[in-house]
Amino acid sequence: MRLSDDAQSAASSHAPKKGCAVREVCEADLHVGVAFLLLTFLWRSKEK
């Protein structure tokens, strides 16, 4: 679960600190999470 923590910290560091709505932050986290899962899936399919 270490990688998911790194992905979340990276997403939060890229998001602007001031004047950012909670919904925007949630959408950014969602996009990063989906991209991370997709990359992990593609990488594992390559391994096989």
Encoding tokens for residue 34? 């989906």
Residue with the bigger pLDDT between 47 and 8: it is 47
| Amino acid (one-letter) located at 37 | L
Q: Express each pLDDT in 26-38 by its tens digit.
A: 788 888 899 999 9
The structure's pTM equals 0.43
Structure confidence at residue 19 (pLDDT): 56
Residue with the bigger pLDDT between 11 and 1: it is 11
Half-sphere exposure of residue 46: CA atoms within 13 angstroms, side-chain side: 6
